[in-house]
Chains A and B, each alone.
Chain A
Amino acid sequence: MATRFRDGDADAVRAIYREYGRLVYAVAHKVLGSKTLAEDATQQAFVQAWKAAASYDPARELGPWLATIARRAAIDVHRRELRRPAVALDDVAASHPAVVSLPPSAEQAYDVWEVRRAIDELPEDERSVVRLQHLDGLTQAEVATRLDLPVGTVKSRSFRAHKRLAGRLGYLREEGP
């Protein structure tokens, strides 16, 4: 697979993207905060990974290597945006990369990678509960209403999901500042 990816084989590229594309995108989005720019950076990251594939050591984990490339590609896009012609600050959205402070650290970027991967590993029924609780800030009763489920079912799924995530991601907290 690595050889075919390095040779630019479309099926190999597609397989690598399906395995890691959303993780790379999550890192890029963390740096840039913009869907469009994150997609640009994701595309750049995969092209750069392809170009660097010949020098990739198969003994290394592919994830951290790709996460590093993703963060660098996103920072390149961030810098490109900073070089755009100046406009009045009032005309710039608060979320624009030029307004956002320094990009996240490599550790923060990789945290996003790991959290995203852990979420993707959850069963779909647990993942949807966790998403509504955290991204949308819903209570369990609200989640139950949204998903048309008994509250007890939501509680069970939430408990299982959080136990899985805590076990999977506990090391991130231990390594924090």
Chain B
Amino acid sequence: MSSDDDRVAELAGDDGASLDPADLEELEELRALLADPSVWAEPDASLEDRVVSAITTEASQRPGRPVASRPSSRSRRGWMLTVVGVAAAALVAVAVSFAVRDTGSSSEQFSMALNATELSPGAAGDATLTKTDSGWRIELDATGLPRLDGGRFYQAWLRNPAGVLVPIGTFNEGEKVTLWAGVSPRDFPVLTVTQEDADGDQASSGKRVLAGQIRA
């Protein structure tokens, strides 16, 4: 028997000498199917909550559709874990303040304090989020963030309780930055700023330098 036959026979867990050619052929084709890495790929555990959130959000916005039932206790735990902080950069503190201001126009507005993380202990800032016809304009003003250049930059995100991240802009320095969001901070109440590299990976690096939250 050839070495390939030996390999196929080994997969069968049997003495290769007892397998007939039809069995060997079937196992060889099966091996090709099972070697596809896509067959074994696993999504992140948070994808479930993201899918549920995406659908229930759309469903609640449709006229005449029932509002989604309350989330499972597992997603509530997941939401709390998301808020308290996960992965490498735990939040040092989550001091929250917000105010709804009367700007003299009909615009809805929030403000929030942004707090430092272990990655940037000297940073601080605030953000004002104003609703306009074009979306939510976010004016961010932060100190203590060193300038990033040469393919490195800061990126801001809004995040909902299910952990869905919406990118709202990139910048090099934190002072007097204007960002834009197409989602409401009522639905995405957490604002984070991360350090990023221009590496083609659109996902958040997870390297949070600032974070703030609208109190529910």
B60 neighbours in A (Cβ, 8 Å): 8
A13 neighbours in B (Cβ, 8 Å): 51-52, 55-56, 68
A157 touches B34 (CB 8 A): no
Size of the chain A interface, CB-CB below 8 angstroms = 60
Main SS of chain A's interface residues?
helix
B48 touches A8 (CB 8 A): no
Query: Mask for B23-52, Cβ within 8 A of A = 1, else 0?
Result: 000110111011111111111100110111
A162 touches B27 (CB 8 A): yes
A162 neighbours in B (Cβ, 8 Å): 11-13, 27, 30
A38 within 8 A of B: yes
Cα A162 to Cα B48 with chains together (Å): 30
A159 within 8 A of B: yes
Task: Say whether, besides A10-B56, A13-B52, A43-B50, A115 and B36 are in contact (CB < 8 Å).
Answer: yes
Task: Say whether, besides A35-B41, A39-B43, A170-B26, A7 and B10 are in contact (CB < 8 Å).
Answer: no
B27 neighbours in A (Cβ, 8 Å): 162, 166
A116 touches B11 (CB 8 A): no
A110 within 8 A of B: no
Interface stretch, picked from B69-77, B86-94, B110-118, B139-147, is B69-77
Interface residues of A (CB under 8 A from B): 7-11, 13-14, 17-18, 21-22, 25-27, 29-30, 33, 35-36, 38-39, 42-43, 46-47, 50-51, 87, 91-93, 96, 111-112, 115-116, 119, 130-131, 133-135, 139-140, 154-160, 162-163, 165-166, 169-170, 172-173, 176
Add 5 more A-B contacts to A8-B65, A21-B51, A155-B13 (CB < 8 A).
A13-B55, A39-B43, A111-B33, A119-B40, A162-B27
Interface residues of B (CB under 8 A from A): 10-14, 26-27, 29-31, 33-44, 47-48, 50-52, 54-56, 58-60, 62, 65-66, 68-72, 75, 200-203
